[in-house]
Structure 1
């Protein structure tokens, strides 16, 4: 109960990276989840992404605004049936801009650009994590824009590992038995914003916590909605 009444404070994880716990109230979480379920329906619905080396991502995905494929964007599902991608909703862009403004207040420095945020967000990736799904260390470098990335979490909690801009591997000098990068627990309703010097930092999800979603949300698994500007 105390967590619902008094969510943890926002934290600057690194220069340009801010964790905003419980950014979305329960009603907003239900609204976003309902939208995700609509977006997941074909055509251009939830899919399993095949990487160039033939492997398949354990996370399933839906694109909005433009279709992401390894490693680029297109107006249609070019690595599938060729369907037009689902449109990006204006309200999701407003939510993202508000999160950037909140992160800028925490950072206390102009790493995210103008305040209030004026970024015209126009694309998003919706990722669904079932039991055992994970996301390897990667960086979001396929966009032409350097605008901050805004991530919203729904459902099961996860460990979100935020690294550096130098590479996805373990940095020199870090022993093999030590965690490298900053591990952040993301729970349902949390937002995470990264831009400026952290815009191209490597990050990933080594594990989720199955069964940890708020019961009232009616979701098993984790949904992550990552909003970007193309």
Structure 2
């Protein structure tokens, strides 16, 4: 989706930075192609089942470490028992570029070494409720990349799922980084705007969201 009016970089809250249009169309297509490969094997994309029996409306596949509520493991014991695809070096470099773009701090960016990514696919009806990304043992920033249909992204506070919060639009190619005081903000996606993506991004429909994280884990027995 091409904006008629330029959208500036904005700090939504301290440490929560929105950089519109950060990924080029070529980069978006490359990420879509990689995600399609990861979605088929070794652990296929799926709707995650929650501990109380509910099923998430987004579909998820992981690389590096496998996430299931609410822990990380090397093998996807809740899916097929296979070890997830490794986290590639080129994704580490992309994550460092993103952190540098958001914070303009090369030293912080150079230290950033993500080792997992949760890749969520939203169809037009999918939603994600307010939640914190707090299953990691590291307070390093989360790097979020959006491809495909735009969405309403709700950025809350660190204390409660309710107000105050700010709604912004995330469009294809947008970068959002949350770290520092905003590392544990509640956030969610209450709405996806169907058919708003540029077909040149490589995604025919829906929204792809890639969130890179640092787990702080080293061996499988470190999970909890």
Residues 1:122 and 2:107 aligned together: no
* Alignment CA distance shift 1:116-1:83 (3 Å): closer
Q: Which residue of 1 aligns with 2:134?
A: 141
Equivalent position SS for 2:3: helix
Q: Which residue of 2 aligns with 1:81?
A: 80
Could you say what the CA RMSD is over the residues aligned between the two structures, in angstroms?
1.7
Per the normalisation by structure 1, the TM-score is: 0.89
Residues 1:203 and 2:204 aligned together: no
Q: Which residue of 2 aligns with 1:95?
A: 94
For 1:211 and 1:117, the matched residues in 2 are separated by 37
Cα displacement (A) at 1:12: 0.5
1:35-93 deviations in whole A, cap 9, x for unaligned?
Answer: 01111113302111000010100000001100000000000001121111111111111
Q: Which residue of 1 aligns with 2:54?
A: 55
Alignment gaps of 5+ in structure 2: 216-224
Cα displacement (A) at 1:216: 1.8
Residues 1:229 and 2:214 aligned together: yes
* Alignment CA distance shift 1:90-1:2 (3 Å): closer
Q: Which residue of 1 aligns with 2:35?
A: 36
Alignment gaps of 5+ in structure 1: 172-179
Cα displacement (A) at 1:2: 7.1
Equivalent position SS for 1:68: strand
1:4-57 deviations in whole A, cap 9, x for unaligned?
Answer: 8x7421100000100010110010000011101111113302111000010100
Per the normalisation by structure 2, the TM-score is: 0.91
**Which aligned segments of 4 or more residues in structure 1 are displaced greater than 4 angstroms?**
none
Contact 1:9-1:21 at 8 Å conserved across structures: yes
* Count of matched residue positions in the alignment of Structure 1 and Structure 2: 214
Contact 1:7-1:22 at 8 Å conserved across structures: no
For residue 215 of structure 1, the aligned residue among 176, 199, 203 is 199
